[in-house]
Structure 1
Amino acid sequence: MTIPLLICDDSNMARKQVARSLPDGWDVDITFATNGVEGVEAIRAGKGEMLFLDLTMPEMDGYGVLETIKAEGLKSVVIVISGDIQPEARERVLKLGALEFIKKPINKEKLTNVLQMFGLLD
């Protein structure tokens, strides 16, 4: 079954890097969002059952996205991918419902390992 995957990051280069790091043969339908507002709209439209989320973005940051998902009871499995590696940031996103926090720059092996660890790959 194809998984609606949303990559939400204000950096075009980072969005492309995440897309290139996806496991080979993973059955996903990718949507891109350039800020948190676009990201939340895409999740509401059913395009983000799986979400790879940056924290630092204009209009609405990743924390705001996580808070909105929680407040509205939206269905989305979230993995944060960010350069903000402070322990407080990791702790905060996990409390807000993110499954995991991966440090940028991401690589295929790390992403695949995290997806397998949580049973998100066949």
Structure 2
Amino acid sequence: MAITVTVCDDSKLSRKAVMRALPEDWDIELFEATNGAEAVERYHAGQADVMFLDLTMPVMDGFEVLSVLKEENARNFVFVISADIQPESQRMVNELGAVKFLKKPLDTNLLKTVLHEVGLL
């Protein structure tokens, strides 16, 4: 059975870059979200076993998405992908339950390694 994956970023270019970095042989059903509110909707629709989440977005940012998921005791894997690599931001996303903080631009080899480490590959 395919794993549902949602890529959430307000930049179409960034979403496409993340989707290109995903392992080709990974059995997934892929969805996109352009802001945090859409990401939460995808989660509620069962379309986000795994979520790749930007932090800085309109409507609802990544921190807010993580807060909602934490409040709901979400049982999914959230990987934050952001250019905001400040230690405080990294600390906050870890406290809010993100599996890993990955910096933009996304390193394809690092992504594969991380997916292996958490048992998704």
Measured against the shorter chain, the TM-score band is: over 0.9
What one-letter code is carried by the residue in structure 2 that aligns with 1:37? A
Structure 2 portions without partners, runs of 5+: none
The whole-number CA distance in structure 2 between the counterparts of 1:116 and 1:24 is: 14
Count of matched residue pairs: 121
Paired residue for 2:28?
A: 28
The alpha carbon displacement at 1:73 in A equals: 2.1
Structure 1 portions without partners, runs of 5+: none
Paired residue for 2:81?
A: 81
The whole-number CA distance in structure 2 between the counterparts of 1:73 and 1:119 is: 20
Paired residue for 1:19?
A: 19
The whole-number CA distance in structure 1 between the counterparts of 2:72 and 2:114 is: 26
The whole-number CA distance in structure 2 between the counterparts of 1:31 and 1:59 is: 19
Paired residue for 2:10?
A: 10
Q: Identical aligned pairs, as a percentage?
A: 50
The alpha carbon displacement at 1:76 in A equals: 1.7
TM superposition outliers: structure 1 runs of 4+ over 6 Å: none
The alpha carbon displacement at 1:116 in A equals: 1.0
- The 5 Å alignment of 1:1-122 reads 1-121=1-121
TM-score w.r.t. length of structure 2: 0.97
TM-score w.r.t. length of structure 1: 0.96
What one-letter code is carried by the residue in structure 1 that aligns with 2:60? M
